[in-house]
Amino acid sequence: MKFTIENLGCKVNSYDAQSVATLLEEEGYERVFDDSEVDVAIVFTCAVTNTAAQKSRKLIRQVKKQNPNAISVVAGCYSQMDPNVLDEIDIVVGSIHKTLIPTYIKDFQKNHTKIRDIQALNDVSFEEAQIDKFETQTRAYLKIQDGCNQFCSYCIIPYVRGRERSMNPDHVVEEAKRIFESHKEIVLTGIHTGRYGSEYNMTLADMIERILENVSKDVRLRISSIEVSEIDDHLIRLMKNDSRIAKHFHIPLQSGSDEILRAMNRPYSCEEFLRKIDDIRKEIPEISISTDLIVGFPGESEALFEETCTFLKKCAFSFLHVFPFSLRSGTKAAQMVDQVSSQIKKERVKKCLSISQNLYQDFTKSWFNKTVRVLVEKNSENDSFGHSSNYLPIKINAKAPHGEFVDVIVKGMEGEILLAEMK
């Protein structure tokens, strides 16, 4: 039997989708990556914004239309939030029990009865999964944490992912060892990755140290998005002293105004944020620090927005991911007064992207004529493409071995991509 999996959303969703694909392949199913007719069509959904929910609905309709005779399966955050709109779907699974999807497919084949598994998330454990490799990408993901306890005022995720929980430390090590047999780089990910291990009396740094003690010297471990309050001295020291840890932190700021940060229920002030990234740069001068930013949050006046712009330049990020505030039903921010108009949000996004471009130019030019190590992710006949440890996108003027590390010398820039020669 043939199956397809479509995935919408974050790295956590990608990991969940791949774990289900692994289970199905172990059962003898064949995964299809083109428009071939399939027996099972699976969609992993997202609900982080109203727009993401709309995209999820659109993708479900598209997949259903392309595969009218296939068993339809929908899973993930949108399923958890709004399963009632999925009446036409055969199997609907929420934010847990995704590993039961192969069993549910067999049950549906036998009984032809629709299956709904949407569980309350008040007290759930981490759902262990197993992955050997990612079939469609060079860089692998390893989900070590799920859920969130932060309840930022704009965010629906704690409601659709449940409370914080972590993968068993021994399982993390075994998964990392197995995945590193097929991939040179793993991204440790989660809904709130930096909160890993509280139920095991461990920190994320403790876990990373354990992984590195058990794997090869010729690998790279990358940390996905992490909150500034979760970067401790142990983690900074590890990153400084072990070249296998990617020299890149993606630390969400969301706003450069203390007033807006309080309204967002973010657990830090601008002063605390800047002090931490200054501490990081003192220890790791070559570090790339990028961020997420929300503009047009309710109550963000022009003056408060200008505070953010000034603060962004102080932080000297390597690049920004900029998002206009998206009203999310079911969150506190959706009920706030002083909503900002769409036009103003567009203008603010444009200005922050311009700041991002200038910051990116400053950071990347500092790497001209320096040697960097690149994981080769794509090849063409005469060149290669990949990312450095600090997540610089680099085009190499030679066909380098796919999936391997190569040392190159940065020679220039074309658009946003650095140009390099083999060393």
Domains in the chain, ordered, with CATH? 2-117 (3.40.50.12160), 121-246 (3.30.750.210), 276-366 (3.30.750.200), 371-422 (2.40.50.140)
Cα separation values, 69 from 38, 39, 72, 111, 207, Å: 8, 7, 9, 16, 45
The pLDDT tens digits of the residues spanning 317-331 come to 999 999 999 988 889
pTM for this model (two decimals): 0.94
Q: pLDDT value at position 417? A: 97
Query: What is the model's pLDDT at position 393?
Result: 97
Q: Are 15 and 45 in contact (CB under 8 A)?
A: no
- In angstroms, the CA 391 to CA 311 distance is 23
- Distance (Å, whole) CA 212 – CA 214: 5
Please state at what angle helix 302-315 crosses helix 270-283, rounded to 10 degrees: 10
pLDDT at 34: 84
CA distance 270 to 257: 7
Question: Over the stretch 332-373, which tens digit does the pLDDT of each residue have?
Answer: 999 999 999 999 999 999 999 999 999 999 999 999 999 999
Residue 255: the pLDDT is 98
pLDDT of 216: 92
Give dist(CA 407, CA 423) in Å, integer: 6
At residue 66, what is the residue type?
Q
* Residue-by-residue pLDDT tens, the chain, 423 positions: 999 999 987 899 999 999 999 999 999 999 998 878 899 999 999 988 888 888 999 999 999 999 999 999 999 999 998 888 788 999 999 999 999 999 999 999 999 999 999 988 888 999 998 898 998 899 999 999 999 999 999 999 999 999 999 999 999 999 999 999 999 999 999 999 999 999 999 999 999 999 999 999 999 999 999 999 999 999 999 999 999 999 999 999 999 999 999 999 999 999 999 999 999 999 999 999 999 999 999 999 999 999 999 999 999 999 999 999 998 888 999 999 999 999 999 999 999 999 999 999 999 999 999 999 999 999 998 999 999 999 999 999 999 999 999 999 999 999 999 999 998
C-alpha triplet 110, 111, 115: angle, nearest 5°? 110
